[in-house]
């Protein structure tokens, strides 16, 4: 494939007219560069914008070839520029990464030479990338250097720098708990946080001595001869002002804006009507508001926030949340909500545990990506619960979880490496006309409580086992998974009184299994719900046989203590 030159007029990266095969003054190419084209910005090339949309590609990118060094402006909007080889910026050009979402991804072995230009985000995927000179990031709180699958970085004696001691760059693995290697090779860092990085270094590495600060987000180690890896020493940080302000305001803290390893305390007296805005993406280890007075407000509204420990709120404060809150601690930590309501919360605590200290209420999705979540017997009220992945995780559930939304309200559809210990209740409360899907992933649940009323069905997927299902308050349609067996342990009634509960199959037949004893229902309408197992199934005299219900008796169960015989329909 031919080399493509950025033309004199410049333009958007995605436009065919921005490129030529014969030089910056040549005729238009038939399309923008692909991963097969080497791309050259030469002296005559105009200003080019990496425009948004599908990702942009090049085999290699050089701004020092052709008729002379490029002196134009390369603007990188919020999009990914994928380069499969070397990247070389010229000293006289301008490279403007508009934000940390201006991503340069390197997916072919190559050398990155930025000539002092500031990068928004660098991703390395599947290869070892080597620094040709020092690499520095823009003045943003969310810059990162992400090492993807099978990726590594060779510093080659160069320095990776965040923009400041507050706006540090995060060097991390794309998979929590799976470390990626950075070969230090006489290189170093400045103002950087690290998560799941294995440093290959012949000698011990003292990251407490780098320019600025080093943050430890967990999962970091050293190999290659060095045995001691040291980060900036953790220091408790107290909010020392009576006024509110931004989390990133160093003047409000004991000695610095908290690092991921610093515990954070709000144990001061606030003046009236003060708000602390958490504008840092990584806000510290454990955050504790115990002792704060003056009824302050914590605003989690600026950016998504990750803490690496516990969170303790107090009754005498206000919480406003619009951004996703993430827990990434790798030890045993707690969450005390103090009656405050969260939005979306993600638990990504590799090898760690988050234990509730009181009831939890959220108006967004509670997501468990890694680690253990223990409700500790407290009530959990959320719109949706999601834990559909293959990471190692445990749910210990002894309280009542109330799911208030519609759509897929529970998903553990991919239940690989998920341990579920459930002695509590899951309550599905929505009574609208919209369906609710419980994608149980074939796990064993205790009790399911469904609020009756509304035409929206409750749809189960997965070969799940339930101790008991109850429906109260109105009629309801329950759809069981077709070609799949759902198992019930208890034979108790549905608790539906005279409200008819309709059971049907998502496709074909949905088998209901109970291994022994008697299942005693009434006021149900069954269609394509064959029964199996050693139990005797009574649908009740007030129930309707819609067909396809082998193994059911449409009579009442005999009083307990009497012998029963399985008749079958």
Partner 1 sequence: MSEQIMVQVRFKEKTEVGEYNDALYFTQAEYQAKSQIEIDALKQARVNNWVNAVKNPPVFVEPTKTELQAQKAELETQLAEVNSKLLTAKDVIK
Binding site for partner 1 (CB under 8 A): 52-55, 78-80, 82, 99, 101, 103, 105, 107, 123, 125-126, 146, 148-150, 174, 236, 263, 265, 290-291, 314-315, 336, 338-339, 341, 357-359, 361, 363, 377-379, 381, 383, 399-400, 402, 404-405, 425, 427, 429-430, 449, 451
| 332 closest CA partner among 279, 396, 378 | 396
Q: Report, in Å, the least distance between residue 182 CB and partner 1.
A: 18
Which one, 184 or 469, has the nearer CB to partner 1?
A: 469
Q: Report, in Å, the least distance between residue 93 CB and partner 1.
A: 22
d(CA 468, CA 448): 6
Strands of 7-151, DSSP E = 11-12, 19-20, 38-40, 48-50, 56-58, 60-62, 73-76, 80-83, 87-88, 94-97, 103-106, 110-113, 118-119, 121-124, 128-131, 135-137, 144-147
Q: Report, in Å, the least distance between residue 472 CB and partner 1.
A: 10
Which one, 148 or 456, has the nearer CB to partner 1?
A: 148
Q: Report, in Å, the least distance between residue 402 CB and partner 1.
A: 5
Which one, 165 or 357, has the nearer CB to partner 1?
A: 357
Which one, 387 or 405, has the nearer CB to partner 1?
A: 405
CA dist 430 → 193, 437, 456 (Å): 43, 11, 8
Which one, 69 or 430, has the nearer CB to partner 1?
A: 430
Which one, 101 or 527, has the nearer CB to partner 1?
A: 101
Helix (H, G, I), strand (E, B) or coil at 445: strand
Q: Report, in Å, the least distance between residue 118 CB and partner 1.
A: 18
Which one, 200 or 400, has the nearer CB to partner 1?
A: 400
**Which class for 228: exposed (0-12), middle (13-18), buried (19 or more C-beta within 10 A)?**
exposed
Q: Report, in Å, the least distance between residue 82 CB and partner 1.
A: 6
Q: Report, in Å, the least distance between residue 451 CB and partner 1.
A: 8
CA dist 404 → 360, 365, 374, 460 (Å): 13, 10, 20, 16
Q: Report, in Å, the least distance between residue 356 CB and partner 1.
A: 9
DSSP state of 253: B
Q: Report, in Å, the least distance between residue 99 CB and partner 1.
A: 8
DSSP state of 552: E
Which residue has tokens 């990266």?
13
DSSP alpha helices (H): ranges in 65-147? none
Which one, 173 or 188, has the nearer CB to partner 1?
A: 173
Q: Report, in Å, the least distance between residue 429 CB and partner 1.
A: 6
**Cβ–Cβ < 8 Å for 537, 552:** yes
Which one, 305 or 484, has the nearer CB to partner 1?
A: 305
DSSP state of 534: S
| 393 closest CA partner among 366, 423, 411, 420 | 420
**Cβ–Cβ < 8 Å for 431, 451:** yes
Terminal CA-CA length for the chain: 71
DSSP alpha helices (H): ranges in 379-486? none
Which one, 290 or 516, has the nearer CB to partner 1?
A: 290
Q: Report, in Å, the least distance between residue 173 CB and partner 1.
A: 11
Which one, 263 or 543, has the nearer CB to partner 1?
A: 263
Strands of 323-432, DSSP E = 325-327, 332-336, 341-342, 345-356, 360-362, 365-374, 380-382, 384-386, 393-397, 400-403, 407-411, 418-422, 425-428
Which one, 361 or 544, has the nearer CB to partner 1?
A: 361
* CA angle, residues 300, 305, 311, in degrees to nearest 5: 80
Determine if residue 155 is left, alpha or beta; phi over 0 gives left, psi from -120 to 50 gives alpha, anything else beta: alpha
Q: Report, in Å, the least distance between residue 50 CB and partner 1.
A: 10
Q: In what order do the strands lie in the sheet with 11-12?
A: 11-12, 48-50, 73-76, 94-97
Q: Report, in Å, the least distance between residue 544 CB and partner 1.
A: 29
Which one, 68 or 291, has the nearer CB to partner 1?
A: 291
CB within 8 A of 93, min separation 6: which ones? 41, 63, 69, 70, 71, 72, 73, 74, 115, 117
Longest CA span, the chain: 98
Which one, 178 or 203, has the nearer CB to partner 1?
A: 178
CA dist 466 → 488, 540, 554 (Å): 5, 21, 22
Q: Report, in Å, the least distance between residue 180 CB and partner 1.
A: 12
């Amino acid at each position: 494939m031919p080399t493509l030159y950025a033309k004199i007029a410049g333009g958007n990266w995605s436009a065919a007219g921005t490129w030529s095969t014969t030089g910056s003054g040549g005729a238009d190419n038939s399309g923008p560069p692909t991963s097969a084209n080497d791309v050259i910005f030469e002296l005559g090339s105009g200003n080019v914008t990496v425009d948004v949309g599908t990702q942009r590609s090049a085999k290699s990118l050089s701004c020092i070839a052709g008729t002379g060094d490029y002196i134009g402006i390369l603007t990188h909007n919020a999009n990914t520029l994928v380069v499969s080889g070397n990247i070389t910026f010229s000293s006289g050009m301008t490279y403007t990464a508009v934000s940390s979402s201006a991503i340069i991804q390197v997916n072919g072995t190559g050398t990155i030479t930025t000539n002092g230009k500031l990068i928004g985000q660098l991703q390395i995927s599947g290869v070892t990338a080597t620094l040709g000179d020092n690499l520095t990031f823009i003045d943003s709180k969310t810059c990162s250097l992400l090492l993807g699958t099978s990726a590594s970085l060779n510093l080659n004696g160069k320095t990776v720098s965040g923009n400041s001691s507050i706006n540090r760059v995060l060097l991390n693995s794309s998979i929590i708990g799976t470390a990626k290697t950075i070969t230090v090779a006489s290189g170093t860092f400045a103002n950087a946080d690290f998560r799941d990085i294995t440093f290959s270094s012949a000698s011990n590495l003292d990251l407490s001595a780098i320019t600025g600060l080093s943050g430890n987000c967990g999962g970091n180690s050293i190999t290659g001869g060095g045995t001691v890896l040291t980060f900036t020493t953790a220091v408790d940080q107290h909010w020392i002002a009576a006024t509110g302000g931004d989390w990133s305001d160093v003047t409000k803290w004991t000695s610095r804006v908290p690092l991921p390893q610093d515990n954070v305390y709000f144990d001061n007296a606030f003046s009236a009507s003060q708000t602390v805005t958490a504008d840092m993406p990584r806000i510290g280890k454990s955050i504790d508001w115990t002792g704060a007075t003056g009824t302050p407000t914590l605003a989690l509204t600026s950016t998504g926030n990750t803490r690496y420990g516990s969170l303790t709120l107090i009754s005498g404060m206000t919480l406003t949340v619009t951004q996703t809150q993430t827990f990434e601690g790798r030890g045993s930590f707690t969450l005390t909500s103090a009656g405050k309501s969260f939005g979306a919360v993600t638990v990504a605590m590799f090898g760690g545990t988050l234990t509730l200290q009181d009831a939890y209420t959220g108006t967004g999705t509670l997501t468990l990506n890694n680690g253990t979540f223990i409700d500790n017997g407290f009530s959990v009220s959320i719109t949706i619960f999601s834990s559909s992945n293959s990471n190692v995780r445990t749910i210990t559930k002894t309280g009542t979880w109330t799911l208030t939304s519609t759509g897929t309200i529970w998903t553990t559809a991919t239940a690989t490496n998920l341990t579920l210990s459930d002695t509590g209740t899951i309550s599905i409360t929505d009574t609208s006309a919209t369906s609710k899907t419980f994608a149980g992933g074939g796990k064993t649940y205790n009790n399911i409580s469904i609020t009756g009323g509304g035409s929206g069905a409750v749809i189960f997927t997965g070969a799940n086992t339930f101790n008991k299902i109850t429906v109260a308050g109105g009629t309801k349609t329950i759809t069981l998974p077709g070609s799949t067996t759902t198992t019930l342990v208890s034979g108790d009634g549905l608790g539906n009184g005279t409200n008819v509960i309709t059971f049907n199959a998502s496709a074909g037949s949905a088998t209901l299994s109970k291994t022994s004893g008697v299942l005693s229902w009434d006021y149900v309408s069954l269609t394509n719900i064959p029964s199996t197992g050693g139990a005797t199934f009574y649908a009740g005299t007030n129930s309707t046989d819609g067909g396809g219900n082998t193994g059911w008796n449409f009579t009442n169960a005999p009083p307990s203590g009497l012998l029963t015989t399985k008749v079958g329909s």
